[in-house]
Amino acid sequence: MASAQSSDSGPGVVDPDERFFWALMRRFETLAVDRYAALAPALLLDEKVRFVERLAADGADPAALAASPLEKPSGELLARAQQSRDEAATLLVQGIVLECLGQAIYRLVAGRTEGVSEASRQRAAEGLAASAAVTAAAGARIAERLGTGEPLYARFADVTYDVVAALDPLADPVDCVFGRRFGLRFADVMGEFTADLVGVCTGLGMQRRKVVAHLTGAAMGV
Amino acid sequence: MAGASGGVLVTGGSGFLGSLVATTALRRSDGPIVLPIRRPEARDKVLARIAAEAAAEGEPLRDADRARLHIEPWPPPHGLGAMAARLARLGVRDILHCAGCLSYFNVAKLLDGNIELTRRMLELGARLDVRRFVFLSTAYCSGFTDALIPERLHEKPGEDPTDYTRTKRDAEWMVAESGLPWVIVRPSVVIGDSRDGRYGGKPYGIYQFWGALERYMVGAYPPVLHLVAARAPVNLLHQEAFVEGFWAAYRELPDGAVMHLASRDEGLPSMRDLTMLWFREYGGPRLVHLYERLDAVPMDTVAPPLRQWLEFTAVNSEIASVRWNFQRDRLEAMRERGLPFRDVSMETIAVVQNRFVRDSEKLREFVAQYRECGSPEPEIVVHDAA
């Protein structure tokens, strides 16, 4: 166990609730790195790999996660993310959608001035930087490999619907588990996430209103 | 058509409007009702939905009604011949094509759900030599226009609000050029029943505003709220009015007729009226800024949940910011002849809104909190376009 050890990235996370949070994030980040290694090596950045290694070193207890209300909806989200079976889908689902989700979460945690330890704030800042770097790389690779504009939107809408639709069941568990403790609320995450994702998509030439309508449809089940 | 009998094929029976039509077909006709569904495992759900609607109308399904219902899987493209033969044996004479895709911009799904499916239904109709093919379209397939929107096919449409409206218009033309005896029904935005507020549809239209509020805003209102709430009347239509109008169109209109189903303008609320109704009923934050359009909102100053709410309701806000002037001559003529049809009013909207809140635990808690702690009458600052 290296949970309380210092590392080159600062002190380890010791607070049990925070360790639980990082155990959850580690599941998503580990999947991301695995998917990039298998299907989208252009996104396998050193920064991301190092970040995942640090999360692993925190050694959070997976049993607590298994017993929490987050287990089922987060497992469903992970399962849907794993359905990306080629580079194109991995770039869009993992490199854009889930990395934007990660950035939204990390930005909110890194920006908390109370209720969150310095160790977690620092860890979140690292995660935010790593995620932003991956998203930038994904944007470049998407433009090169899949093109931009309307044809890209059609593909984006097709492969990301199920993943975005899997976010809504996380709402109550996130508010319940992290809302009171960290002030991390699902609505705040979604607000940041949507703003980030729409920005990335319009940067790739997709029409803003179409992207927003797609996200609305997926997130609200229409 | 009046008094005609025979079997009816209703598509879209697993959806909101299709299930209302199927329930009505059961109640108002005496032949077999065939409901093709995409997912056979949803059979019990479809049946339960129809049973619930029939019960809500005070006419619970009897065994004889259930025996008339034939819920079947959609045939594969090469299976239309076999299906036509089966439908002919059941005595199906009419097709009420209510199925469709309501995605706003997913062109692949829209082409599949609105164009290809309609093509197959028309082919099926031709094989059956149907007496009537009724196509459920949308009043908004005219595209944006300031002019009166006529009850005929649109030859020069305006810019489309969404790809959904475009594909519905394209499908209308396919129907009209099919050679079958057709009728097209174009409802505006269907909301819950005016009597008890019940609603079985997805969160479109006004429900998208309330649904997004339920999802993203129930933590707390920000002290200052920025909302898009235009002054144009919103063309809402109660579900029981939809049912009456649709059925009358099916049974009474001549072949080749297009009919708009929309409430009279006089009582229609605007988004601003609806916003004020919400605050009057449930309280709100201290200060509310109202805008005509989303691009007038200072988005960089609003909190993420509110930004999310504004973004997710943006397309509907845009549609609701425009005056849609639907011709309603056919409906008015039917009403003069005695068609029962309840227009939307602030009073009936309140019934629907209260039902939505009553059915949502989150919203009940939220409004209770604001009744206690918030201002019952927030200060309103209106930012009208120049």
* Interface probe with A: pick from B17, B106, B300, B313, most Cβ of A within 10 Å: B106
pTM of the full structure: 0.90
Rounded to whole angstroms, the Cα distance separating A133 from A150 reads: 25
Is A104's pLDDT higher than 90? yes
Q: What are phi and psi of B36, to 5 degrees?
A: -80, 135
Banded model confidence at residue A9, pLDDT cuts 50, 70, 90: low
Is A10's pLDDT higher than 70? no
Residues facing residue B186 across a β-bridge: B260
Q: State how far Cα B52 lies from the chain centre.
A: 19
Banded model confidence at residue A1, pLDDT cuts 50, 70, 90: very low
Positive/negative CA dihedral, A197, A199, A205, A211: positive
Rounded to whole angstroms, the Cα distance separating B171 from B116 reads: 9
Banded model confidence at residue B1, pLDDT cuts 50, 70, 90: low
Asked if the Cβ–Cβ distance from B208 to A216 is below 8 Å, we say yes
Q: What is the mean pLDDT of residues B251-263?
A: 98
More confident residue, A24 or A182: A24
Rounded to whole angstroms, the Cα distance separating B214 from B226 reads: 17
Rounded to whole angstroms, the Cα distance separating B37 from B117 reads: 12
Contact B233, B186 (CB under 8 A): no
Residues facing residue B133 across a β-bridge: B95, B182
Length of chain A: 222
Q: How far is CA A169 from CA A66, A172, A173, A174, in A?
A: 16, 7, 8, 9
Is B93's pLDDT higher than 90? yes
Contact B209, A220 (CB under 8 A): no
Is A207's pLDDT higher than 50? yes
Q: What is the pLDDT of residue B375?
A: 62
* Interface probe with A: pick from B226, B312, B317, B318, most Cβ of A within 10 Å: B312
Rounded to whole angstroms, the Cα distance separating B88 from B54 reads: 27
Residues B198-219 have pLDDT tens digits of: 999 999 889 999 999 998 888 7
Helix pair A118-145, A16-39: axis angle to 10 deg: 20
Q: What is the mean pLDDT of residues B137-161?
A: 95
Is B87's pLDDT higher than 90? yes
Residues facing residue B94 across a β-bridge: B8, B132
Q: How far is CA B176 from CA B119, B152, B153, B330, in A?
A: 12, 10, 8, 18
Rounded to whole angstroms, the Cα distance separating A162 from A157 reads: 9
Banded model confidence at residue A4, pLDDT cuts 50, 70, 90: very low
Rounded to whole angstroms, the Cα distance separating A31 from A37 reads: 10
Rounded to whole angstroms, the Cα distance separating B128 from B93 reads: 7
Residues B12-42 have pLDDT tens digits of: 999 999 999 999 999 999 999 999 998 888 8
Residue (of B119, B215, B8) closest to A174 by Cα position: B215
Q: What are phi and psi of B260, to 5 degrees?
A: -85, 135
CB contacts of B200 in chain A (<8 Å) are none
Residue (of A51, A151, A169) closest to A99 by Cα position: A51
Rounded to whole angstroms, the Cα distance separating B213 from B231 reads: 20
Quickly count: other Cβ atoms within 10 Å of residue A150's Cβ. 13
Specify the 3-state DSSP secondary structure of B287: strand
Contact A14, A119 (CB under 8 A): yes
Asked if the Cβ–Cβ distance from A212 to B311 is below 8 Å, we say yes
Q: What is the pLDDT of residue A57?
A: 83
On average, the pLDDT of chain B sits at 92
Positive/negative CA dihedral, B11, B17, B23, B28: negative
Contact B245, B331 (CB under 8 A): yes
More confident residue, B310 or B373: B310
Q: What are phi and psi of B195, to 5 degrees?
A: -85, -40
Residues facing residue B36 across a β-bridge: B72
Q: What is the pLDDT of residue B36?
A: 94
Residues facing residue B224 across a β-bridge: B287
Closest CA–CA distance from residue B246 to any residue of chain A (Å): 23
Q: How far is CA B221 from CA A52, B3, B227, B358, B370, in A?
A: 37, 55, 12, 19, 9
Nearest CB among A158, A209, A222 relative to B203 is that of A222
Asked if the Cβ–Cβ distance from B215 to A168 is below 8 Å, we say yes
Quickly count: other Cβ atoms within 10 Å of residue B360's Cβ. 17
Q: What is the mean pLDDT of residues B265-291?
A: 91
Rounded to whole angstroms, the Cα distance separating B358 from B115 reads: 38
Banded model confidence at residue A3, pLDDT cuts 50, 70, 90: very low
What ipTM does the predicted assembly reach?
0.82
Q: What are B's interface residues with A at a Cβ cutoff of 8 A? A: 102-108, 162, 202-204, 208, 211-212, 215-219, 303-308, 311-315, 318
Helix (H) or strand (E) holding B363: helix B361-373
Is B360's pLDDT higher than 70? yes
Q: What is the mean pLDDT of residues A63-87?
A: 92
Nearest CB among A154, A171, A222 relative to B107 is that of A154
Quickly count: other Cβ atoms within 10 Å of residue A178's Cβ. 23
Q: What is the pLDDT of residue B75?
A: 83
CB contacts of B203 in chain A (<8 Å) are 220-222
Is B3's pLDDT higher than 60? no
Residues B335-345 have pLDDT tens digits of: 999 999 999 99
Is A201's pLDDT higher than 60? yes
Contact B252, B337 (CB under 8 A): no
Nearest CB among A158, A191, A192 relative to B108 is that of A158
Contact A3, A19 (CB under 8 A): yes
Residue (of A187, A44, A172, A184) closest to A121 by Cα position: A184
Rounded to whole angstroms, the Cα distance separating A194 from A211 reads: 10
Is B271's pLDDT higher than 90? yes
Asked if the Cβ–Cβ distance from B106 to A209 is below 8 Å, we say no
- The torsion angle over the Cα atoms of residues A120, A123, A128 and A131, rounded to 10 degrees, is -130
Tokens read off for B147? 């002019």
Is B378's pLDDT higher than 80? yes
Nearest CB among A157, A188, A222 relative to B202 is that of A222
Q: Percentage of residues in chain B with pLDDT exceeding 90? A: 74
CB contacts of A161 in chain B (<8 Å) are 106
Q: What is the mean pLDDT of residues A31-48?
A: 97
CB contacts of B303 in chain A (<8 Å) are 188, 191
Closest CA–CA distance from residue B201 to any residue of chain A (Å): 9
Is A110's pLDDT higher than 60? yes
Q: What is the pLDDT of residue B305?
A: 87
DSSP A151-197: HHHHHHHHHHHHHHHTTGGGHHHHIIIIIHHH---HHHHHHHHHHHH
CB contacts of A212 in chain B (<8 Å) are 311-312, 314-315
Q: What is the mean pLDDT of residues A103-108?
A: 96
Query: What is the identity of the amino acid at A193?
Result: F
Closest CA–CA distance from residue B317 to any residue of chain A (Å): 12
Is B223's pLDDT higher than 90? no
Is A6's pLDDT higher than 70? no
Q: What is the pLDDT of residue A140?
A: 98
Rounded to whole angstroms, the Cα distance separating A53 from A29 reads: 10
Residues facing residue B134 across a β-bridge: B96, B183
Rounded to whole angstroms, the Cα distance separating B303 from B294 reads: 15
Q: What are A's interface residues with B at a Cβ cutoff of 8 A? A: 153-154, 157-158, 161, 168, 171, 175, 179, 185, 187-188, 190-192, 194-195, 198, 209-210, 212-217, 219-222
Q: What are phi and psi of B241, to 5 degrees?
A: -70, -40
Q: What is the pLDDT of residue A2?
A: 35
Q: What is the pLDDT of residue B385?
A: 64
Specify the 3-state DSSP secondary structure of B185: strand
More confident residue, B381 or B75: B381
Is beta strand B132-136 parallel, antiparallel or unpaired with respect to B33-37? unpaired
Banded model confidence at residue B304, pLDDT cuts 50, 70, 90: confident
Q: What is the mean pLDDT of residues B161-190?
A: 97
Compute the C-alpha angle A89/A95/A97, nearest 5°: 85
Question: Which residue is it, tokens 């999310």?
Answer: B308
Asked if the Cβ–Cβ distance from B312 to A212 is below 8 Å, we say yes
